[in-house]
Structures are given as C-alpha cells and as structure tokens.
C-alpha cells in the first residue's frame, strides 16, 4: 500500500478520462468496507479519505465487536441477530484482531440475576452457530474471582456472558490493505471537494485534492458513494445545497486508566447507569477503558472535545463499582467519538435512535450509506454495493466477503497464557516487523517505558501502512495516544525522526510535526 502508487493510478485514469466503477468518499469502517466489497467483486474502485484512514469515529469506538445487549433490551431483535452473525464472521476472518472477551454484569439487587440471566440466555440463543460461549449465573465468590476489583459490599452475584473485542483502527488499516490486495485504490489526505454532474444533472464523479501537493483531480465514476459518517450532509449538500439534513450527531467519550483499576481479564458491564445507558470497563492493550456517554452535539468535527460533565459522569459511575474509584489524576487518556445517527422523528434522546444502517439515494444519484455499527460494516458494505450495482448499472457480481480473510489473517497462538504479544495485532505482517528490528537492534527497543511500541513499527507504518504523520503513527497505527497521552507526547520526537528518514523530510518538517502533535495530544489529557 504505497501512496505514490495510489496517486499515480488516480492521475493516469483521470488523464484517460476513464470512469471508475465505484468511487467512495470516506475512509472509515463504512467506506473501507465498501471498497473491500467492491474490489473483491472485481469492480474498479477508488476510495478517498480527507484526513487519515480512521481519523473519524472508526478509531474512537468502545472496541467491541458485539450484538449489543442494549439493543436487545430495546427489543431490536433483527439488529442484534444481524450483528451477532457479523461478530462471528469477523472473528472468523480476522482472528488476529478480534478476540473473545468475558463480560460480567454484577448483581446488587435480587431481581438482577433472573432478569439479566434470562436476557443473556436469549442473547446466546440469537447468536446460534455464531455463538462465543454460553452465559451463566455466578455466585458472589465467582463474580469476585473474575472481577477482583469489583466493589463487594451488597454484591449478590453476577452473570457472565461473552462478546468480541477488537482494535478498531488496526482493523481499519488491515481493511485498507485488504482493499489494496484486492486491487482497490485507496488514498488518505485526499478530500473530495466537489461533485461532477452529467448533462442531466446526475452525479458522475467528484473533484479531489491531494493535500500533500495541492494537485487537484477530476475523478469520473459510474457511481459515487458517500460514506462520510457525521460529515454525510456536507457531501449531500455538494450535490444539492438545499437538501434536508439526514443526520444528527451525539458524542461518546472514553477514559483510559492503568490496568490495576480492573484486575483480571474480564470486562465489567453496567447495564443501566443513572442516565439509562450502558457503561463498560474493559481490559484493552494492558489498560482499562471506561465508557461511554451519549451527548447530543451540534455538528461534525474531526477532533471533538470531552465535556467536563462527561468525564465526571464516567469517573463517578465507574467509581461506584470499583474498589479503588479512579480520579481525574488517574486518567491516562480521554478520547471522544461522534455517532453518525440518522434522524428519527419520535426518538426522545440520541441513545434511543436506532443503530441500524440507512442507504439513501438523492435525486442526483448520490448514494449515501450511514448509521450502523463497526460490527456490521461488512453487511452494510454488501447492502451498499448491491444498491450501487442497480443504480450504476454495473455488472451483477455476487458479494464474496463472508469468507474473505482480512489482511494479516493469522490464528492466535494456542499457547498464549494471558499476556498479549504486542505484535499480534499485525497478524502475519508481524514477521516483517521482527525482521526490521533484527536488521537494526535500535529499532527493537521500546520507544517509551510505559508502552510496548518499538521503532520497527514506525518504519513499517511508513513503508507499508501509508502513515504520513506522527499522529498517524501514534493514534491509529499504534494506539499510544489513546492509551497514554503523556507517554505519546514523549514518543513524538523519535517517531518524527524515524518518519522523516523513511519519507525523506527535513528538520523543519520534524519541528512542525512535533508542534502539531503536542497541540493535539493535550486534548487527550484531562
């Protein structure tokens, strides 16, 4: 996956004035899923991302590949069933990135064991052959064995159930590589700045700009797909400035703590917080992640900011269930994501709006795919490309992604005993990173004592994963910024120097990168 090669393909096709079958705007889970699906069916597909792949919501999730116990409570059985099936397919196709995780719902009232016990049995049942493990009731002692950090006072017992956990931006990068392996052209830092129309007013392409060089392209396509998440209406307005908005936005924050706040390998699930939501505290890459909130916000932004009351809410709610309640000074990082929600007339709050996906076709022929969940990205893509075939009069090709292995596919080692190998998220590519480290032992050393990341990962990110900036490496190729913002700031200089070497930049570039990253990283501290 080399950026220069991607640009060359876009430029040459533009010069030939030859249309792509499918052009996708937006390089999050939704758009990248579409690029994988389209390319795997044999279509000529191009995907443009305005910033870096996964810069939007798709790197800021709760890291769950799940059916959504909450949607079960809302009675949305079809959504839960479809998500549970996708959960199973994703574990099958990307076992290096999707893991089974045990969750415990602690019971402090008499009615909780039967209520959640039966609900979670139904969850098991809906998963059918895609099940991850049977839920069961736990005694107080068993509950504390699994969650030693849980508040024991008035605890009666718990229910354990199983769901999936993943690394969202790592999966996204491997989806980009899968798309590229299948022949798609995918490019970051290349926003769509306008749409092209034919004589009858139908969208037949787009205008894009390479933000690194300023070069502009006219990209003709039989069908243009808008997969821009919370930015959906901005693209729709390019086709029709008077169009009615489709989207509402709500934000969710997560706080990251040292793992000692959640001992053991089990996640804590609080099914009903004081605002009627679900709160998770999850072990992730050697840390504990707590979230999330659901706060309506005005419009889209690439770097949404946490509200003080959201931070306070998570600290208080998590603190109620943990023997050592975390305080602000314990927060290693805070990250914020925006939900792309499709407007729903009757919903009383954003948390009540359905998480189903929506496909919308504007009168201009622009096809929009939005809503949904990370977990269901494959199904959303299948549905979208099916619509694109009809709308763009493409040849009728069948979807092949149900059994398509995702780049890096590798079975996790059978003898793993608890501790994660830090390179496991690269799957089969980890051998290449080890080989870079072997050739230069300096690149085998951790870049910071608090995190496992080594220099060889930076070199690999630049050479093979299209990382262009310090932020790309520390936010989405590694997860340093999301795990420990201060440590990430201290890693920025060696990362910038390694990138400068790989990408042939000078000292002025290094200095500018350090300034930009430090301003960004401050927003991830509390």
Residues that bind ligand FAD in the complex, under the rule CB under 6 A: 25-31, 48-51, 55-58, 60-64, 66, 191-192, 227-231, 252, 292, 337-340, 372-375
Within 8 A by CB and 6+ apart from 385, the residues are 22, 34, 37, 38, 41, 43, 399
Element at 85 (helix H, strand E): helix 77-93
How far is it, in rounded angstroms, from Cα 247 to Cα 231? 9
**Distance of alpha carbon 495 from alpha carbon 374, whole angstroms:** 29
CB of 229 to ligand FAD, least distance (A): 3
In the bound complex, what is the minimum distance in angstroms from residue 128's beta carbon to ligand FAD? 19
3-state secondary structure 329-396: HHCCEEEEEEEEEECCCCCCCHHHCCCCEEEEECCCCCEEEEECCCCCHHHHHHHHHHHHHHHCCCCC
CA 156 – CA 22 distance, rounded (Å): 56
Give min distance, CB of 240 to ligand FAD, in A. Answer: 16
CB of 434 to ligand FAD, least distance (A): 30
Please state, in angstroms and rounded to a whole number, the distance separating the CA atoms of residues 22 and 19: 9
Which residue number, 98 or 138, has a Cβ lying nearer to ligand FAD?
Answer: 98
Q: Which is nearer to ligand FAD, 137 or 207 (CB)?
A: 207
Output the smallest distance, CB 506 to ligand FAD, in A.
28
Pick the closer one to ligand FAD by CB: 25 or 150.
25
Contact by Cβ (8 Å): 199, 144: no
- Residue 299 Cβ, how far from ligand FAD at the closest point, in Å? 12
Nearer CB in complex with ligand FAD: 195/480 = 195
Instruction: Give whichever of 25 and 447 is closer to ligand FAD, judged by the CB atom.
Output: 25
SS3 at position 452: strand
Least distance from ligand FAD to the Cβ atom of residue 368, Å: 10
Q: Which is nearer to ligand FAD, 138 or 186 (CB)?
A: 186
Tokens of 292: 């999330």
DSSP for residue 150: B
Nearer to ligand FAD, 31 or 158 (CB): 31
- The Cα angle at residue 68 between residues 320 and 423, in degrees rounded to 5: 85
Minimum distance from residue 90 beta carbon to ligand FAD (Å)? 10
| Phi, psi values for residue 259, rounded to 5° | -60, -25
Minimum CB distance to ligand FAD smaller for 63 or for 468: 63
* Closest distance to ligand FAD from the beta carbon of 251 (Å): 7
CB nearer to ligand FAD: give 50 or 159.
50
Give Cβ neighbours of residue 175 (< 8 Å, ≥ 6 apart). Answer: 29, 32, 33, 35, 36, 377, 406, 407
For the record, the structure tokens of 7 come out as: 């640009």
> C-alpha 193: how far from its chain's center?
24
């Amino acid at each position: 996956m080399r950026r220069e090669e991607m640009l060359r393909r876009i430029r040459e096709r533009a010069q030939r004035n030859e249309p792509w079958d499918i052009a996708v705007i937006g390089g999050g889970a939704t758009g990248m899923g579409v690029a994988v699906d389209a390319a795997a069916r044999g279509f000529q597909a191009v995907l443009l991302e305005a910033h870096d792949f996964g810069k939007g919501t798709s790197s800021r999730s709760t890291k769950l590949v799940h059916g959504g116990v909450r949607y079960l409570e809302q009675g949305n059985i079809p959504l839960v069933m479809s998500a549970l099936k996708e959960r199973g397919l994703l574990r099958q196709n990307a076992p290096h990135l999707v893991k089974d995780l045990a969750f415990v719902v602690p019971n402090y009232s008499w009615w909780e064991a039967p209520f959640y016990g039966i609900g979670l049995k139904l969850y098991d049942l809906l998963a059918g052959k895609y099940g991850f493990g049977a839920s069961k009731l736990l005694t107080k002692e068993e509950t504390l064995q699994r969650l030693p950090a849980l508040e024991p006072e008035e605890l009666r017992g718990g229910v354990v159930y199983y769901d999936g956990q993943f690394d969202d931006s790592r999966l996204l990068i491997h989806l980009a590589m899968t798309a590229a392996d299948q022949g798609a052209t995918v490019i970051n830092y290349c926003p769509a700045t306008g749409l092209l129309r034919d004589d009858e007013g139908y969208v037949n392409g787009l205008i894009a700009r390479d933000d690194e060089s300023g070069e502009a392209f006219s990209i003709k396509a039989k069908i243009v797909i808008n997969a821009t998440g919370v930015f959906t209406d901005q693209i729709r307005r390019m086709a029709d400035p008077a169009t009615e908005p489709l989207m509402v936005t709500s934000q969710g924050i997560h706080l990251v703590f040292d793992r000692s706040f959640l001992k053991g390998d089990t996640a804590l699930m609080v099914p009903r917080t004081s605002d009627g939501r679900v709160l998770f505290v999850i072990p992730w890459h050697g840390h504990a992640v707590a979230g999330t909130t659901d706060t309506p916000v005005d419009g889209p932004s690439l770097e949404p900011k946490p509200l003080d009351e959201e931070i306070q809410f998570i600290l208080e709610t998590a603190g109620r269930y943990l023997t050592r309640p975390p305080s602000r000074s314990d927060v290693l990082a805070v990250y914020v994501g925006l939900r792309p929600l499709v407007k729903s007339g009757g919903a009383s709050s954003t948390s009540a709006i359905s998480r189903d996906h929506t496909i919308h076709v504007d009168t201009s022929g622009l096809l929009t795919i939005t809503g949904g969940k990370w977990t269901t990205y494959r199904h959303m893509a299948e549905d979208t490309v099916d619509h694109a075939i009809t709308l763009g009069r493409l040849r009728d090709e069948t979807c092949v992604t149900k059994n398509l292995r995702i780049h890096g596919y590798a079975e996790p080692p059978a003898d793993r005993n608890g501790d994660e190998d830090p390179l496991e998220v690269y799957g089969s590519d980890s051998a290449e990173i080890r080989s870079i480290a072997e050739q230069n032992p300096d690149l085998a050393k951790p870049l910071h004592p608090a995190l496992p990341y080594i220099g060889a990962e930076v070199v690999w990110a630049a050479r093979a994963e299209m990382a262009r900036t310090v932020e790309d490496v520390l936010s989405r190729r590694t997860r340093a910024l999301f795990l420990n913002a201060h440590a990430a700031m201290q890693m920025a200089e060696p990362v910038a120097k390694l990138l400068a070497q790989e990408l042939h930049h000078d000292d002025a570039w290094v200095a500018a990168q350090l300034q930009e990253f430090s301003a960004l990283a401050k927003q991830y501290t509390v």
